[in-house]
Amino acid sequence: MFSNLTLSSILVIVVVLLFSTALHEIMHGYVALKLGDDLAYSQGRLTLNPIKHIDPILTIAMPLFFMLAGMSPIFAAKPVPINPNRVSGHEDGMALIAIAGPLTNFFLAALAAVILRNVDLGGFLLEFMVRFLQINVGLFIFNLLPIPPIDGSRVLYAFAPPSVQRVMERIEGFGIFAVIIIISVLLPVIGPVLTNANQTVIRFLLGF
């Protein structure tokens, strides 16, 4: 997906990533707002302005680290701030906020698939829509991983027993560095699983 890229391909990937990750975070904040927490809204995070969602470590340094290590890059935007004490539904509410981001990427990927299946595209438009589909499926799958603090872990947390929740809380204390370490160690196992999952979802959306 990221090999032998031309300058135009790189620009397409950057634009799609900025838009898709921004909308991902906006939906986290929007659902939080509907559930009683206006923190993200009050800090101006419910916007498509990419500058508001860029994090020096998550959006720039982390992808570079993985690429320099010879691995597929992992992209992430700056998480929107959430005040759990204001969220109605407590753990269930937090799970809804968490799943809103990945589901947004799935919806965007499904929209791209509908266009690819029904519109005769070519050249730049075809490449743009294919990249749009691939990237949003990738964001959807990656964010479902049950590794704290990834979105999937918050969904798992809502249904996990207290003993598992305590372990997850300890891991979440390390922030995104826990994700980098765990994925780096388990890459031989996680890598093929993510690749197969991405391909399966893409085939499903395209109707193959």
The CB density around residue 184, as the number of other CB atoms within 10 Å, is 13
> Which member of 25, 91, 127, 172 is catalytic?
25
Provide the token pair at 166.
């305590």
Q: Rounded to 5, what percent of the chain is helix, strand, coil? A: 75, 0, 25
Count Cα neighbours of 43 within 13 Å in the Cβ-side half-sphere. Answer: 17
Q: Residue 25 catalytic?
A: yes
Do residues 97 and 87 make contact, with C-beta atoms less than 8 angstroms apart?
yes
Which residues are identified as catalytic?
25
